[in-house]
Amino acid sequence: MDIDFSLVLVCLVAACGALWLLDSLLLKKPRMAAIEEHKHKAKGQNEEALQNELAELAREPVVIEYAKSFFPVLLIVLVLRSFLVEPFQIPTGSMIPTLKVGDFILVNKFAYGIRLPVIGTKIIDVDDPQRGEVMVFIPPHEDKYYIKRVIGLPGDTIRYEDKNLYVNGDLVEKEFLDNITVDTSIGDLAGTLYTEKIGGIEHTTQHIDAAGRRRARTTWVIPNGHYFMMGDNRDNSSDSREWGAVSEKDIVGKAIAVWMHKDPGLNLPNFSNNKLIR
């Protein structure tokens, strides 16, 4: 089961804030009154002993003390994660060779507009996704984060046939880069790397030389407010070719950089492949 960390953070911030407010409005007054009363009764008492007793009377309940300590830290984390930058780990190979399984990336949360945490409602417009950018989003068929490349914008006609991509009728040219061996669920297969340029962004795509999975549909017209997403691992990616275009309301942010990589299992993380994402 995936954990909604944004919801957890919001709940923790709200709980700590509520406890702090409760203490300020209701619980603090009796403590202050008890301190003043004790000061009046203890006139002439040893000063050191009096200060110890007053400190004990002023002591906050443990739960209030922790709430006040954690509230600013949690609030800063919530603001950073919700409105600025969110970390994300690549779970599958659908974006190979651009992104590998185990890459830790940073997602710019304000690139496409500032949204409220948890509910995702946009409150401030900033910019729209551009063709060729790598975007994190929630797909229409599953309530979890996906990452793919923006191929089609609202109103575009996208065609993908015989491993060739067409945008509004124009073939997206690809240039041979290298022959490779692709590790798949059915064993190693011959593959090819190509350099592709779309939306002014040059990137590498991976193809399996054998016939890929057959899709009944090859052409899509993108509705308003939606985006057509594809993985760079073109023959091994669950994307808009299967489950349709992504709604603008389900955008999470723009992937901007790889900051760490960790291979699955008992392997140490490394920083040798850190890079900006294109």
Structure letter (DSSP) for residue 270: B
Close Cβ partners of 252 (under 8 Å, ≥ 6 residues apart): 86, 107, 109, 135, 136, 137, 138, 145
How far is the C-alpha of 135 from the C-alpha of 229, rounded, in Å?
A: 8
- The torsion defined by the Cα of 188, 189, 192 and 198, in degrees rounded to 10, comes to -90
Other C-beta atoms lying within 10 Å of the C-beta of residue 49: 10
Quickly count: other Cβ atoms within 10 Å of residue 268's Cβ: 6
Q: 94, 109, 237, 240: which is the annotated catalytic residue?
A: 94
Asked if residue 153 lies in contact with residue 229, where contact means CB atoms within 8 angstroms, the answer is no
| 69 is known as an active-site residue | no
- Spot the catalytic one: 41, 43, 100, 148: 148
Residue 219 makes CB contacts below 8 A (sequence gap 6+) with 157, 158, 159
CA distance 157 to 138: 22
The C-alpha atoms of residue 175 and residue 197 are separated, in whole angstroms, by: 9
148 counts as catalytic: yes
Q: Which two tokens stand for residue 162?
A: 């015989």
| Separation of alpha carbons 247 and 140, rounded Å | 8
Q: How far apart are CA 236 and CA 139, in angstroms?
A: 17
Active site residues: 94, 148
